[in-house]
């Protein structure tokens, strides 16, 4: 009897120093990441579609585009509305595409996808995603985009892991979020004003504190960084602590406390999404990357159990 293919395609397992990760052919997504026998992220099965974007790589834009409309290099572009209930284009064009393995070692896998032009995105990108595990640093994710086409291309990227920290619900978890400004958005997730100071608001987690009943589904920016230029988010609870870092190329975070998810995932994890640009960046131009023909750009973030 033929062996069935899981919905997420080939499964690429890597391990090192007590860490183990599984990356999928579908979308080059991070399906599972553990340290010892403890999950570091909220995972899902190989024959299950990523729930609520779990672990997905978001490119050539993260988050939402209002009405799927934007203007670039003198062209008016209209994307398919992949979030039809809200009338938005969401999370890019490659998370449901097949990515091909260029290299797969015990501790490392490199996946590649060539994004050809299409209606609403008449540009070409050569994309690679490298997942590397080390005993000391945990997981490092490197995303590179090169423009092999004949015209400049608009670009941004993000990733969508849901962090866990040893508790069935996040209310008793402590969150540390190194962001000085938050971005108000309307009910469709589209920004309505410029970023605002977090001081004195429920969105100020620069000093670690319990999430309790705080509801988050917001973008944050103005990130403080360590001496290596890394911004760190930490979630602690149940005797475990998870740390997520982003290099200086990621200037934004989306943080989502899973309040709209189904039972079993409701407030069970916190989505912490490194983003190179804010929601609606293709339309607003805010931190939108203009990738010239022949140029490339690389972004790095990582996860570890602390």
Q: Is residue 3 part of a domain?
A: no
Per residue in 234-280, pLDDT tens?
999 988 999 999 999 999 999 999 999 999 899 999 999 999 999 99
What DSSP string runs through 197-248? E-TTSTT--SS-EE-TT---EEEEEEE---TTS-EEEEEEETTEEEEEEE-T
Q: Is residue 6 part of a domain?
A: no
User: In tens digits, what is the pLDDT along the chain, a chain of 306 residues?
Assistant: 568 999 999 999 999 999 999 999 999 999 999 999 899 999 999 999 999 999 999 999 999 999 999 999 999 999 999 999 999 999 999 999 999 999 999 999 999 999 999 999 999 999 999 999 999 899 999 999 999 999 999 999 999 999 998 788 999 999 999 999 999 999 999 999 999 999 999 999 999 999 999 999 999 999 999 999 999 999 999 889 999 999 999 999 999 999 999 998 999 999 999 999 999 999 999 999 999 999 999 999 999 999
- Strand partners for 114: 126
| 159 within 8 A of 301, measured Cβ to Cβ | yes
How many structural domains comprise the chain? 1
Q: Is residue 110 part of a domain?
A: yes
Helices (H) and strands (E) in the chain, counts: 1, 27
Please calculate the CA angle 205-210-213 and round it to the nearest 5 degrees.
100
Give the sign of the dihedral formed by CA 65, CA 66, CA 68, CA 72.
negative
Please tell me the predicted confidence (pLDDT) of residue 34. 97
Please tell me the predicted confidence (pLDDT) of residue 273. 98
Q: Is residue 184 part of a domain?
A: yes
Q: Is residue 5 part of a domain?
A: no
In angstroms, rounded to a whole number, what is the distance separating the alpha carbons of residues 22 and 60? Answer: 23
| 84 within 8 A of 106, measured Cβ to Cβ | no
Q: Is residue 156 part of a domain?
A: yes
Q: Is residue 4 part of a domain?
A: no
In angstroms, rounded to a whole number, what is the distance separating the alpha carbons of residues 287 and 156? Answer: 8
Q: Which domain holds residue 267?
A: 11-305
Q: Is residue 75 part of a domain?
A: yes
Q: What is the CATH number of the domain that holds 170?
A: 2.70.98.10
In angstroms, rounded to a whole number, what is the distance separating the alpha carbons of residues 91 and 65? Answer: 9
């Amino acid at each position: 009897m033929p062996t069935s293919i899981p919905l997420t395609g080939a499964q690429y397992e890597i391990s090192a120093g007590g860490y183990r990760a599984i990356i999928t052919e579908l979308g080059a997504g991070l399906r599972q990441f553990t340290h010892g026998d403890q999950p570091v992220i909220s995972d899902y099965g190989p024959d299950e579609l990523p729930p609520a974007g779990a672990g997905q790589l978001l490119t050539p834009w993260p988050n939402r585009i209002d009405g799927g409309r934007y203007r670039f290099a003198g062209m008016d572009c209209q994307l398919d509305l992949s979030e039809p209930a809200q009338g938005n284009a969401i999370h890019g064009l490659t998370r449901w595409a097949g990515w091909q393995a260029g290299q797969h070692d015990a501790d490392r896998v490199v996946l590649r996808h060539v994004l050809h032009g299409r209606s609403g995105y008449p540009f070409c990108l050569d994309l690679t995603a490298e997942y590397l595990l080390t005993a000391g640093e945990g997981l490092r994710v490197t995303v590179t985009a090169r423009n092999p086409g004949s015209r400049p291309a608009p670009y941004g990227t993000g990733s969508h892991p849901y962090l866990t920290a040893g508790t069935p619900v996040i209310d008793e978890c402590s969150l540390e979020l190194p962001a000085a400004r938050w971005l108000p958005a309307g009910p469709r997730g589209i920004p309505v004003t410029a970023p605002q100071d977090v001081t004195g608001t429920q969105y100020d987690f620069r000093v670690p504190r319990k999430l309790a009943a705080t509801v988050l589904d917001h973008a944050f920016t103005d990130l403080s960084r360590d001496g290596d230029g890394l911004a760190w988010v930490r979630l602690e609870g149940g005797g475990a602590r998870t740390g997520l870092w982003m290099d200086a190329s990621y200037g934004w975070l989306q943080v989502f406390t899973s309040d709209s998810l189904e039972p079993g995932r409701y407030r069970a994890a916190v989505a912490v999404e490194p983003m190179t640009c804010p929601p609606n960046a293709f339309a607003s131009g805010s931190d939108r990357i203009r990738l010239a023909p022949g140029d490339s750009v690389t972004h790095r973030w990582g996860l570890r159990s602390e």
